[in-house]
A = this chain, B = another copy of it.
Amino acid sequence: MSRPTAPAPARPGRRPGDSGTRAAIEAAARAQFAARGYERSTMRGIARDAGVDAALVAHFFGSKERLFAAVVELPFDPSEVIPRLVAGERADVGRRFATFLVSVLDDADARARLLALVRAAATEPGAADAVRTLVTTRVVEPLVAALGVSDAGLRAGLLGSQIVGLVMVRHVVGVEPLAGVPGERLVEVLAPTLQRYLTEPL
């Protein structure tokens, strides 16, 4: 009775079996980057959330910046989504984008990833670079290619600006009444703007 299986003193050494620790760290990092942004997230805090020593995070990912780059990703697969949204009736493309945006924002996990992107881009220059190249190569360029209209780059930028602004105002700062508007209404309201940015004369 001297040692009644105490609260796990966490001895060193490898864990038996597939510990899934790496995935736990990634999940904790994603959550913390989304909730607090890059600067306020700490490797120690991420390690604590993952139930792990901080040095292990460094061991796996090398540095905080590399951890961010490894963990941040788009909440969807653009190579699947973009063709699907662009195809079909051209007059409805704005509404399709708006509907898709709202669906991403409604899913907690997808929203967290998008928030991590936006918040990090606003703070750390290195993270902003990572985000810019990620978005440029994976979203803007395919979109430009798929659209096949003039000024496609500018159009993609405008589309992105409205999306980023909505995320900031609605989910980061939380300004009412925008933050409380139901998704269907948001689609209605946003669709014409996105439609103009994507297809109508500028």
Contacts and interface: CB of A to CB of B under 8 A. Distances in A.
Contact of A161 (B119, B124, B154, B165): B165
Contact of A162 (B119, B165, B177): B165
Interface residues of A, number: 44
A158 interface: yes
Interface in A108-123: 118-119, 121-123
Closest 9 CB pairs of A and B: A165-B165, A157-B178, A122-B122, A39-B39, A161-B165, A161-B169, A164-B165, A153-B177, A161-B166
A169 B157 contact: yes
A99 B181 CA distance: 28
A76 to B, nearest CB: 19
Interface in A130-181: 131-132, 135-136, 140, 153-154, 157-158, 160-166, 168-170, 172-178, 181
Interface of A: 37, 39-40, 118-119, 121-124, 128, 131-132, 135-136, 140, 153-154, 157-158, 160-166, 168-170, 172-178, 181, 188-189, 192-193, 196-197, 202
28 contacts: A39-B123, A40-B123, A40-B124, A118-B122, A119-B122, A119-B123, A121-B172, A128-B172, A128-B173, A131-B173, A132-B173, A132-B175, A140-B175, A157-B175, A157-B178, A158-B178, A160-B165, A160-B175, A161-B165, A161-B166, A161-B168, A161-B178, A162-B162, A163-B165, A165-B165, A193-B193, A193-B196, A193-B197
A31 to B, nearest CB: 16
